[in-house]
Amino acid sequence: MSDLTLHNYFRSSTSVRVRAALNLKGLSYDYVPLSLLKGEQASAAHLALNPSGLVPTLVTPQGALPQSMAILEWLDEVHPEPPLLPHDPWGRARVRSLAQIVAADIHPVNNLRILKHLEAEFGVDAAGKAAWFRNWAAAGMKALETRLAGEPETGDFCHGDTVGLADLCLYAQVLNNARFEVDMSPYPVINRIHANCMAVPALEQAAPANQPDAS
């Protein structure tokens, strides 16, 4: 029994971010799977933890903490090694800015509840939902690629040569992009960083295919 319990879904990119961070920091946690397709995130038990009815939710000794970006920063403050954010103010701001391209620009318009709403309210079929996803993913990837290719702080990873907050977001998003056949050929720097992420065991272990509810 761990002090941390992660309520999550194997294919959720926001859940991937948190699993990767927990693995990086060597933290054990209890894994509670929630099937988003079955609506288990809307159960009374989960809503008591996370009134938004979303994943992931990390239950800590201090209480339940929803929202992946808040979880990542809490983990970094409570368990600072290895750090997810640089020590200098500019570096921290840059990493947060890169991460938010995924977390604020791409993910919110492409998550499951948005895609289901497009289908239920506007009759958008599977091909139309995939096209919607690809449109907004491409817009964010283009911006991210431009910055990573042009800013001197980029190294083996988004900021220097160690995995950080922005890499967790990039890694999870690229995995999700593959499900919707997003053309990644225009983004060589993102592809290079993603390959480096895949070579980190803690991140590879966080991938959807490696979760107990993936079968």
* Predicted confidence (pLDDT) per residue in 109-167, tens digit: 999 999 999 999 999 999 999 999 999 999 999 999 999 999 999 999 999 999 999 99
**pTM > 0.85:** yes
At residue 24, the pLDDT reads: 98
The alpha carbon torsion through 102, 12, 185, 125 (nearest 10 deg) reads -100
Distance CA 39, CA 79 (A): 32
Distance CA 173, CA 183 (A): 13
Sheet holding 5-8, edge to edge: 30-33, 5-8, 57-60, 63-66
Q: Within 10 Å of residue 14's Cβ, how many Cβ atoms?
A: 25
Domains of the chain, each with CATH number or no CATH: 5-82 (3.40.30.10), 89-202 (1.20.1050.10)
User: Is residue 134 a contact partner of residue 182, using CB atoms and an 8 Å limit?
Assistant: yes
Burial of 201 (0-12, 13-18, 19+ CB in 10 A): exposed
Q: Within 10 Å of residue 4's Cβ, how many Cβ atoms?
A: 16
Mean pLDDT (the chain, rounded): 97
pLDDT at 1 over 80: no
User: Is residue 80 a contact partner of residue 26, using CB atoms and an 8 Å limit?
Assistant: no
Digit-coded pLDDT (tens) for 165-175: 999 999 999 99
